[in-house]
Homo-oligomer: A and B are copies of this chain.
Amino acid sequence: MVRPDSANVSERSEQPPSLAISTVIFALRPSESSGRPTLWLPLVRRIRQPYLGQWALPGGPLAHSESLQDAAARNLLDTTGLAPKYLEQLYAFGGLHRSVGHRLVSIVYWALVQPDEAELTRESTNVQWFRADRLEALAFDHNEIVDYALWRLRNKMEYGSIAYHFLGERFTLAQVREVYEAVLDRQLDPANFRRQLRSAPHIQETDEYLQGTRHRPPRLYRYTGPAPLYGANQQSKQPAEGLNESELRRVP
């Protein structure tokens, strides 16, 4: 079983690195304190070694009959009950000491879910939502992974049409602004923001207005662009990192 050129290495460390798929899922939920929307993500408690009892990103091994993205989606459904419409590859993490006792390579995806979808999470003692900016120490290198996903989310928010995936089918322009403000953590000028959105592609105005506010009823809009999950290519050619087409220039 041990190959000749490595007879002096223990058999365990000769086994190929194991490959897992994990996902960082973001949703906006009202803050307990201020009530304003903030970023949350669901975590799963480890029920085996290593890191038994600690919180971790949902994930699992790659089944041989699934593509990477299918594996991410299925695993999410199995562990949390979520089925995000936005799902995209984030990065492959393969450091030598990410786990203890074995070599682990994780291909990590990231996802966005709408608030009503998020409510359907099968929460339990082992599955819970946490505020993204107040995480305890997670299993493996998952804190670093979340940080990277947050960086990517903010980056992509600045020049991609991504904010709509946090919202339902119809939304007001002010709701889109609140998404930007929550993710980027700064105030934006309502007047200029609205102008930019109206001139952005894939934003369609409807004939409907949101009723029940204690002021002038805002018009509802619809997003007509594609969700990356069903895109033709696995690698949605939209830069985060890279780099994506500048559909929306800069956010005020």
Chain A residues close to B by CB (< 8 Å): 13-19, 61-62, 64-68, 89, 91-96, 103, 105, 107, 144, 148, 151-152, 155-156, 158-160, 233-235, 237-244
Contact = CB atoms under 8 A, between A and B. Distances in A.
Closest 7 CB pairs of A and B: A240-B242, A241-B241, A241-B242, A240-B241, A155-B243, A240-B243, A68-B94
27 contacts: A13-B64, A13-B65, A16-B61, A16-B64, A17-B62, A19-B19, A65-B96, A67-B95, A67-B96, A68-B92, A89-B91, A94-B107, A95-B234, A107-B107, A144-B233, A155-B244, A156-B241, A159-B243, A239-B240, A239-B242, A240-B240, A240-B242, A240-B243, A241-B243, A241-B244, A242-B243, A243-B244
Contacts of A239: 152, 155-156, 239-244
A148 B235 contact: yes
Contacts of A92: 68, 89, 92, 107
Contacts of A244: 155, 239, 241-243
